Structure formats: structure tokens, C-alpha cells
Amino acid sequence: MKPKVKSTAAKLLIVLLGNILYGVTVAVFIEPSGLITGGVTGIAIALERLTGFSVSIYTFALNLVLFVLGIVFLGREFAATTAVSTVVYPVAMHLTERVLNGRTLTDDIVLCTVLGGLLIGLSVGMVMRVGSSTGGLDIPPLILQKYMGLPLGITVYLFDFAVLIFQMFFVRGDAALYGVILVVIYSVFMEKVIALGQSKLQVTVVSEKADAIRRAILERLDRGVTMLAGKTGFTGAETELVMSVLSTRELPKIKVLVQQLDPEAFMVITQVSEVRGRGFSFEKKHLQDR
């Protein structure tokens, strides 16, 4: 099997698992506890309380309508990345509803809020981490961004906020407040899952022994180095800066290394949200491999 096929299969598996987990979580923790939530699920929960029809049925119908809008306004490429989510998520929710048949794992609304928020954040984060989309209420903000230039982040939160307000008319006060906490938990945790393992540290060293530090990083830490030209602010003397990107675990090693070579070195350490390139997002190339 070719690498690209393997990669596509792995992404599809992650999207499937993420949507299944999402559907199971809503059926097990969100529906029975009476919590409110954002997105299409939130609209479906409100409609279920108005009419009595299943949340999974409304979710599928709404997802399908939005999916068609996505095809019309955003194109077939968008449709290919959201087709799986459009179907698998409501189906997983419906099957879980059938299996539970009115039974609940817990009646504790705090447990449902925390576990529901963490699992939704994990499931949606998994899907978005591989570059796919959960579809649903993400689609209108994407359309508004494309045709009106509105910022995606703001419109997504506005749509979610509107859904939360809509649901507050159909639930008791404490469930509504816990629902707001639920949305905060899954929003924060989703961002953590998306960024998991991708954040690195950028270290910049100003030293008179810059070349010795450069060689030590290359040989002892096996990390790439970039040399930058600089000028000291106090004396105006020409100097060199050593810049390298490394993992959090390697930070103590480079601190010791620099301290040994030049105790008077000036070191700046910066958090980097993501690094792309050889040695990080794809395999490192050593001198002997060239």
C-alpha cells in the first residue's frame, strides 16, 4: 500500500472514531442530564423538547441540510471532508439511544457536564486535528467568511451563543448554566487536543561563544541551528545569535549546555504553537544521508 493511501486510511479511521465518540457522548451524558450545548446538537435538543422526536433524527436532518448548503456554496472538496461526519455522528447517537433505551449511567449533572465537555472536546479535536470538519453549524460561518469576509472565529462563537440563548427558554436555570460551563470545557479542551504534541520551544542565545554553542547543539542535542547576525544595544558591537527549536524535554539539556560553554550567555526561550519542517513534521535528514 502506498504511503498516501495509508495516510488517508488513518485519517478516515480517526474521523470515524471521533464522530462515534461524539455521538455516544451526547446520548450518554448530554441528553439524559438536560444540559444545553452549542452547534446543531443544541438546536436538535431544543427541537426534541418541543416536539418529542429523537435528537439524533433532528441532528441528521439539520446536518444534511447544512451539508447541501456546503456543497452549493463551498464546493465538492468541502463536501468530501464533511460527508463522513454528516452521517456517522447522528447514526452513532441514534444507536446509543436505542441501546440505552431510557437508562442513564449517572444522574449527577456535574459529572455529566465535566465528562461530556472533555469527551466532546476530545472527539471534535480528533476530527479537526486531521484536517477534517464536523460539518453542522461550522458551515454557515464558513459561507459568511467566503462571501462576506466575516472573521470565522467570531461568527462561530456568535452562532454557538445564539443556539445557547435559544435553548435557555426550554430548560431549568441550573441546566442552562451548567450548559454554558459544558461549552467552555469542550472549547478549551478541543483546542488542547488539536495542539497536542505540536508545541515546541524556540531558544535564542546571545553569546561571544556562539560558534561553540552552535556545534554543541548540532552534535550533542541533534537539533538544527540557525545563526542570526545581530548588534548589541549597549556597545553597538557586532554579534551572532544562535536560534534553535526543540522539544520541552530538551530544554534542561540546552540550559546546562549553554551554561557550561558560556555562563554569561543571554538566553531567550519562547513557546511556539506548532513547527513544520524537516526534523519535526517529517523525517530528519542527516549529513551522512545526503
User: 263 exposed, middle or buried (CB, 10 Å; 0-12, 13-18, 19+)?
Assistant: exposed
Gap between the Cα atoms of 207 and 210, Å rounded = 5
pLDDT more than 90, % of the chain? 23
Q: How large is the average pLDDT for residues 74-78?
A: 73
All 3 cell numbers of residue 46? 431544543
Confidence label for 77 from pLDDT (cuts 50, 70 and 90):
low
pLDDT of 282 reads 56
- Residue 220 is classified by DSSP as I
pLDDT of 95 reads 94
Gap between the Cα atoms of 231 and 235, Å rounded = 8
Min mean pLDDT across 57-66, 204-213, 272-281 is at 272-281
- List pLDDT tens digits, range 78-91: 676 678 888 899 99
Q: How large is the average pLDDT for residues 134-156?
A: 79
All 3 cell numbers of residue 73? 456554496
Min mean pLDDT across 40-49, 157-166, 168-177 is at 168-177
Question: Between residues 285 and 137, which one has the greater pLDDT?
Answer: 137
Min mean pLDDT across 30-44, 57-71, 183-197 is at 183-197
Cell 486510511 belongs to residue: 9
Gap between the Cα atoms of 282 and 287, Å rounded = 16
All 3 cell numbers of residue 144? 459568511
pLDDT of 17 reads 93
Judged against a pLDDT cut of 60, whether residue 3 lies above it is answered with no
The whole-model pTM stands at 0.72
Between CA 157 and CA 44, with CA 132 as vertex, the angle to 5 degrees is 50
Q: Could you write out the DSSP letters of every residue in 114-161?
A: HHHHHHHHHHHHHHHHTT----GGGHHHHHHHHHH---HHHHHHHHHH
Q: How large is the average pLDDT for residues 149-178?
A: 81
pLDDT of 168 reads 84
Sheet holding 266-272, edge to edge: 226-231, 238-246, 200-206, 266-272
pLDDT of 173 reads 76
